[in-house]
């Protein structure tokens, strides 16, 4: 399942990924939120906060389309189609059942 999350603060004051996020660190926004993945509720043996935001693939695509992303090779803004393809690739690689 696709989730939006913020980092947790460790006892030592360091920023850490919440322990319930299995594949972290995708598509950081200016509001300090990230995209990650967790197992579906049926397959999960650990607690995920009730307040976590779950996203569909289409909601994730909308989020990424709104972000400014530059192709490092061409130094031009990525098109919506390129952003959608990037999301599809990340989801195919990481989304858990």
Domain regions of the chain by residue span: 2-94
Cβ burial of 73 (10 Å; 0-12, 13-18, 19+) is exposed
**Secondary structure class of 18 (helix, strand, coil):** coil
82 CB contacts (<8 Å, ≥6 apart)? 71
Q: Residue 43 pLDDT more than 90?
A: no
Query: What digits encode the pLDDT tens for the residues 58-89?
Result: 999 999 999 999 988 889 999 999 999 999 99
């Amino acid at each position: 399942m696709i989730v939006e999350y913020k980092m947790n603060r460790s006892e030592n004051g360091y920023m850490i990924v919440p322990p319930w996020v299995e594949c972290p660190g995708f598509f950081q926004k200016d509001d300090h939120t990230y995209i990650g993945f967790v197992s579906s509720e049926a397959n999960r043996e650990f607690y995920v906060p009730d307040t976590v935001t779950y996203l569909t693939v289409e909601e994730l695509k909308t989020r990424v389309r709104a972000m400014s992303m530059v192709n490092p090779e061409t130094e031009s803004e990525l098109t919506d189609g390129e952003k959608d393809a990037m999301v599809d690739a990340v989801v195919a690689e990481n989304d858990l059942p």
